Amino acid sequence: DIQMTQSPSTLSASVGDRVTITCRASQSLSQYLAWYQQKPGKAPKALINRASFLESGAPPRFSGSGSGTEFTLTINSLQPDDFATYYCQQYYTSPFTFGPGTTVDIK
């Protein structure tokens, strides 16, 4: 199975900051990597697909990059609505594993 890791596990930031989260896979995914945002008590929401494509409805301050085994999610100018937990997921091969998550909280 492909193992996914994320760093950091928690990130404290302020409104207006630029934030970067890293996701690493135990083997190459090509670009079959997605990012999701989840708020407490709510279902996840899709942000990025194929490593760098913004999902319909996701704000343009979110961007993704990477390929192979290393990927990043960047939030430009953090907004109050962005404080949440972010997960990466590989959809290259079954089982379609998630990373452990990165919580972005208020500094």
63 binds another protein (CB under 8 A): no
Among 14, 16, 43, 60, binds another protein (CB under 8 A): 43
Q: Segment 13-32, which members bind another protein (CB under 8 A)?
A: 32
Within a 10 A sphere around the Cβ of 8, how many other Cβ atoms? 12
61 binds another protein (CB under 8 A): no
**Number of alpha carbons in the 13 Å side-chain half-sphere of residue 86:** 28
Among 46, 54, 67, 72, binds another protein (CB under 8 A): 46
Among 100, 105, 106, 107, binds another protein (CB under 8 A): 100
